[in-house]
């Protein structure tokens, strides 16, 4: 675990840059992480997805899958890939301040 300066505050992140405490998250932090991931600016559409992911995480303890967000009409899979290019499950979870998604088996 290392400490890192993001959006003017210092936060703890793991080796891959995921926040270790999802409670410190806010939109400024999200924008800063997004920028590092090559997403700038963070649009309302991004924020909708991030908020949904955080709500699911609070309720179930895990981030929702891409399939679940598609099924619940949060965001169609195609659009999700356009919003978070190159691996939305991992990238969106990182920007949402959640841990790295559980790899499967």
Partner 1 sequence: MKKLLILGAGTAGTMMLNKMESVLDKEEWDITIVDQYETHYYQPGFLFIPFGIYNRRDVIKPKRDFFPPGVNVIFSKIDLIEADKNQVILDGGKVLPYDILLVATGTKINPGETDGMMEGGWHKNIFDFYTVEGAVALQQFLKYWEGGKMVLNIVEMPIKCPVAPLEFVFLADWWFTEQGIRDKVEIEFVTPLPGAFTKPKASKVFGEFLNKKGVSLTPEFSAGRVDWENNKLVSWDETSIDYDLLVTIPTNMGDDLIARSGLGDELNFIPTDKFTLQSQANDNIFVIGDATNLPSSKAGSVAHFQADILQDNLLSYIDGKPLKGKFDGHANCYIESGFGKGILIDFNYDTEPLPGKFPLPGVGPFSLLEETRMNHYGKMMFRWMYWNLLLKGAELPIESHMLMAGKRA
Enzyme catalytic residues: 104
Distance from the first to the final alpha carbon of the chain:
25
Scanning the structure block, which residue is given the tokens 């939305």? 88
Cβ–Cβ under 8 Å, residues 89 and 66: yes
Q: Which stretch, 14-22, 28-36, 46-54, 81-89, contacts partner 1 (CB under 8 A)?
A: 81-89
Binding to partner 1 by residue 87, rule CB under 8 A?
yes
Give me the residues paired with residue 6 across strands.
9
Cβ 58 to partner 1 shortest distance, Å: 17
Q: Does 61 contact partner 1 by CB under 8 A?
A: no
Q: Which stretch binds partner 1 (CB under 8 A): 21-29, 33-41, 50-58, 67-75?
A: 67-75
């Amino acid at each position: 675990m290392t400490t890192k300066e993001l959006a003017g505050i210092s936060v703890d992140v793991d080796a891959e840059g995921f926040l270790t405490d999802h409670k410190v998250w806010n939109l400024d932090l999200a924008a800063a992480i997004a920028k590092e991931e090559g997403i700038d600016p963070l649009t309302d559409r991004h924020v909708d997805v991030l908020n949904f992911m955080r709500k699911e995480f609070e309720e179930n303890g895990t981030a929702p899958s891409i399939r679940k967000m598609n099924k619940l009409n949060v965001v169609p899979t195609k659009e999700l890939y356009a919003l978070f290019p190159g691996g939305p499950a991992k990238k969106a979870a990182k920007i949402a301040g959640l841990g790295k998604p559980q790899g499967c088996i």
